[in-house]
């Protein structure tokens, strides 16, 4: 188990090509903005359908 951990650490340190910090920060902002936009879109669709269903049941009840 200890050998596995040592080899894994060596692999991560010497053989993995890491994304530069500036690019990682830029991509993080892109993902955050996209997530917020998608959440707002889902919220908007949910609100519209919720009101439509409420009106439908109100119409049926009358």
Q: How far is CA 10 from the centre of its chain?
A: 31
pTM of the model: 0.66
* pLDDT for the residue 59: 92
* pLDDT for the residue 61: 85
Q: How many Cβ atoms sit within 10 Å of the Cβ of residue 56?
A: 10
Q: How far is CA 43 from the centre of its chain?
A: 15
* pLDDT for the residue 29: 98
d(CA 52, CA 62): 16
- Listed as ranges, residues in the chain with pLDDT below 50 are none
């Amino acid at each position: 188990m200890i050998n596995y951990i040592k080899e894994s650490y060596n692999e991560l340190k010497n053989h993995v090509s890491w994304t530069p910090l500036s690019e990682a920060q830029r991509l993080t902002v892109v993902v955050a903005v996209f997530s917020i936009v998608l959440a707002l879109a889902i919220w908007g669709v949910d609100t519209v359908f919720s009101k439509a269903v409420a009106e439908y049941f109100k119409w049926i009840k009358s």
